[in-house]
Chain A
Amino acid sequence: MSQNQSSSLDLNRRRFLQLSAGAGTAALLTSTGLQAQTVNTRAHVVIIGAGAGGMAVANRLSDRLRGGKITVVEAREIHHYQPGWTLVASGVWEPEKTTRPNSQFMPPNVDWIRSSAAAFDPDNRTVDLANGDRLSYDYLVVATGIQLNYEQIEGMSADLVGQHGIGSVYASLEGATRTRDVIDQWIDTGGGQGIFTHAPTPVKCAGAPLKMTFTTLSRLEASGKRDSFDVDFFAPGGGLFSQPWVNDFVKQRFDEQGVQRHHFHTLTAISPQDQQATFTQQDGSTITRDYDFIHVVPPMSAPDAVRNSNLIAQEGSFTGNWLDVDIYTMQHNRYPEVFGIGDVIGAPLNKTAASVKAQAPIVTENLLAAMQDKPLPRKHNGYTSCPLITSIGKAMLVEFGYDLEFLPSFPFIDPKDESWVTWTFKDKMLQPAYYAVLEGQA
């Protein structure tokens, strides 16, 4: 069966499911006044990027707009379930489990342009695309995702992942797979020095560097030779995790598991051939360490097309690196017809798929309100979630918001407990929930 036919069937199944469920709930929703209102418009909405955020908004908007035009700009044909990459790099999942065609999730009534944004001109409401086209818009949703800046580490590039003992779960699906392989090779040697790092910038899934450390420790213990391996963690700051209770927990657990912590050390150079990593300390001095395996977390930022435009933050801690949005309404701080979602936005937290789940309905409702010149009705509380894997087989469901207070979704799951059920959520349920988010269903 061709991909087109398969996609068509998937789409029909999805629409059938939506219609079936919708028919069952329509009476209830109507009677309670909860039915989502459609908006008649002639506006052209352009969504840049169809990762989790862009796809979720595209699906939600396509159900709500009547008469308008939605254009989605996304070059990739394959959608990656990136939250699964830590499980791939830890040898738990096969890589194929994390991919699906983008066409499976793309709503049928949008114009999908297979390209990417090359430049933004918000003053003239246009976007230049990599294919040479220029798109005009009435409303813009920036959902470009994040840019990995490996080159900011001297001697490092994404191509090196999988070679010379270098791993990096962030690089790509192939990079996560090669990270798994290079960890396997390291464990097979029976001993040596492992180094895990964190980046000096906000990163997507900030728990991933910790998860990679914990799952690797789990594998080292399973090898029966844990004492033959030295494991060190280098962090650019004094903390390891945003949420204070979890931060203390991780520090204590690292200490208990024999992980040497080095705070205020930023990875600034790497010598692949010599297998040496150089860290810059707070006072500017450097130290160099040998390694047999290193997990590199690159500095991250908004993509260059955003950074080089007027859409970028021009004051505050996100200056020059992140999209300038109101972190509560998701509306651009200077261009009210522009909204942002996902990893690209300048926010203190929120670079997770769980954040997108919370942001997508807010962006949709606020964008629809903006189209009707109404006050923006919804505010984001900063909800983010990290199923923090503390060993292969158990995890903590850490959910919190801008105020760093826990925001547990399930009263029967304590965010401070390491739990098999939470791990099972991560292993079996979060990917289905993610796909429901893409479809605008959750």
Chain B
Amino acid sequence: MTIASVLTILQYALAPYLWLIVVAVVVLLGAQLIARLGGYRYLRHKSVVANGLALVAGLTGLAWIPAFTHSQLAYVATAFDWVVMIAAIIGLAIFALLVFHPLSYLLRARH
């Protein structure tokens, strides 16, 4: 498979969700940028709440990721199914952390 074919397939696959990707990127960059302008640095700020929320956000993927694919969690059955599902959950949790962590800094700074 060539690079062109991979790009073509990805382009068709992602096109319906382009708006969602844009929203996610704006939210991520917005939270990071605003917090950083206020002095936020990831390693210098600790937030148990943000970590917990990120974990919860990732775990909610167990419910809605199968539904998003017109399926159900009971059909996540093979080892590879679980590898993909766990990877999706980890990705979701990291995204949530990168949003919630700077937000927690901003909230704490306000108080």
Contact = CB atoms under 8 A, between A and B. Distances in A.
Given A417-B78, A419-B78, A421-B78, A21 B7 contact: yes
B77 A419 contact: yes
B78 A21 contact: no
A428 to B, nearest CB: 6
Nearest to A29: B2
Contacts of A417: 77-78
Contacts of A137: none
A75 interface: no
Nearest to A394: B75
Best-buried of B7, B11, B66, B81 by chain A (most CB within 10 Å): B81
A429 interface: yes
Contact of A393 (B11, B70, B84): B70
B70 A431 contact: no
Interface string B3-44: 111011111110000000000000000000000000000000
Contact of A17 (B11, B13, B66, B75): B11
A17 B7 contact: yes
A442 B4 CA distance: 9
A394 B13 contact: no
B77 A420 contact: yes
B92 to A, nearest CB: 16
Nearest to A24: B3
Given A420-B66, A423-B71, A428-B69, A394 B77 contact: yes
Contacts of A418: 75, 77-78
A432 B9 contact: yes
Interface residues on B, range: 20 to 34
A93 to B, nearest CB: 8
B23 to A, nearest CB: 19
A414 to B, nearest CB: 7
B24 to A, nearest CB: 17
Contact of A420 (B1, B7, B10, B69): B69
Nearest to A391: B75
A428 B13 contact: yes
Interface stretch (A203-211, A254-262, A433-441): A433-441
B76 interface: yes
B70 A92 contact: yes
A353 to B, nearest CB: 14
B66 A393 contact: yes
Contacts of B4: 17-18, 21-22, 25, 441
A218 B85 CA distance: 23
Nearest to B17: A428
A65 interface: no
B72 interface: yes
A435 B9 CA distance: 8
B77 to A, nearest CB: 7
Given A423-B71, A427-B70, A436-B9, A25 B78 contact: no
B80 A412 contact: yes
Contacts of A288: none
Given A414-B78, A429-B13, A432-B13, A420 B5 contact: no
Contact of B71 (A17, A22, A393, A432): A393
A420 B71 contact: yes
A12 interface: no
Contacts of B3: 21, 24-25
A24 B7 CA distance: 12
A423 B69 contact: yes
Contacts of A17: 4, 7-8, 11
B85 to A, nearest CB: 8
Contacts of A135: none
A420 B82 CA distance: 9
Given A24-B3, A414-B78, A418-B77, A435 B69 contact: no
B77 A423 contact: no
Contact of B76 (A414, A420, A435): A420
A412 B2 CA distance: 21
A423 B71 CA distance: 8
25 contacts: A25-B2, A393-B71, A393-B75, A394-B71, A419-B78, A420-B77, A420-B78, A421-B78, A421-B81, A423-B69, A423-B70, A424-B69, A424-B71, A427-B69, A429-B13, A432-B11, A433-B9, A435-B12, A436-B9, A439-B8, A441-B4, A441-B8, A442-B1, A442-B8, A442-B9
Interface of A: 14, 17-18, 20-22, 24-25, 92, 391-394, 412-414, 417-421, 423-424, 427-429, 431-433, 435-436, 439, 441-442
Given A418-B75, A420-B66, A441-B5, 4 more contacts: A21-B3, A420-B78, A421-B81, A423-B71
**In the complex, the 10 A-B pairs of residues with the closest C-beta atoms, listed nearest first:** A393-B71, A432-B12, A21-B4, A394-B75, A432-B13, A436-B8, A442-B5, A441-B5, A441-B8, A393-B75
